[in-house]
Chains A and B, each alone.
Chain A
């Protein structure tokens, strides 16, 4: 179940963010605040973004921020920051308004989580519905009320 990976308070909506890098850090911080990772994971993701560029902007309007499994991660988890005013990341998929983040303590525990996520997001309309959803309750309905 995808819902089990999103900790309490891990889905947040806000008007805007100063930059894509800030939005990414804020989304990763939601993983920290919901008990899935330590603060050092925020830096690890920022370093990855600096080194490799916005490669984790994987679909129009959507990023999946993450770094390698490390001691900074305590459990597989996901979080989402949704911006009403999208930010520019430098990717072909700009502008970005859905900044998901994920973490995993190893290379296997999150496979099911991402499988569920990928399947959901590949379903017609889910992506558009999410891009248009402004309330956390609506976002939760789309993500967790899975008709799969």
Chain B
């Protein structure tokens, strides 16, 4: 499974989101590849991810992307990440 962690630049928020999503996934025992990408990369991706993680403010920019988009309010909350990933993936 492929998951995109998206932010405006693809280097800050998305990288943090990726590293914490990986931690949450491993706690859930789910295998997935998480990539940190910018909004442009997510929009123009050749291989679309099944799930896209982003902070709420940029959801508008992700409308129309053929993936399940999940808004994460607190990137550091592994509980929130885990619950939302579990609800979407199960």
Q: Using CB atoms and an 8 Å cutoff, list the residues of chain A in contact with chain B.
A: 48, 51-60, 62, 64, 66-69, 91-93, 102, 104, 107, 110-111, 114-115, 117-119, 121-122, 127
| Contact, CB under 8 Å: A60 / B16 | no
8 closest A-B pairs by beta carbon, nearest first, are A55-B57, A66-B12, A68-B9, A58-B75, A121-B76, A53-B57, A52-B8, A59-B74
Q: Binary interface profile of B, 1-22, with partner A (CB < 8 Å = 1, else 0)?
A: 0000001111111011101100
Complex-state Cα separation, A104 to B15, whole angstroms: 12
Closest Cβ of chain A to B9, distance in Å, is 4
Q: Which of A67, A69, A117 contacts B16 (CB 8 A)?
A: A117
Number of interface residues of B (CB under 8 A): 27
Q: Smallest Cβ distance from B14 to chain A, in angstroms?
A: 9
Interface residue B83 (Cβ < 8 Å from any Cβ of A)? no
Q: Which residues on A sit within 8 Å (CB–CB) of B39?
A: 52
* Residue of A53, A58, A69 with highest tally of chain B CB at under 10 A: A58
Tell me if B33 counts as interface (CB < 8 A to partner A). no
Residues B54-89 near A (CB distance < 8 A): 54-58, 61, 73-78
> Is the Cβ of B57 less than 8 Å from the Cβ of A107?
no
Query: What are the residues of chain B within 8 A of A48 when measuring CB–CB?
Result: 8-9
Query: Which listed residue (A53, A69, A93, A110) contacts B74, Cβ 8 A?
Result: A93
Q: Which one of B7, B23, B78 has the greatest number of beta carbons of chain A within 10 Å? A: B7
Residues of B within 8 A of A64 (CB): 12-13, 16
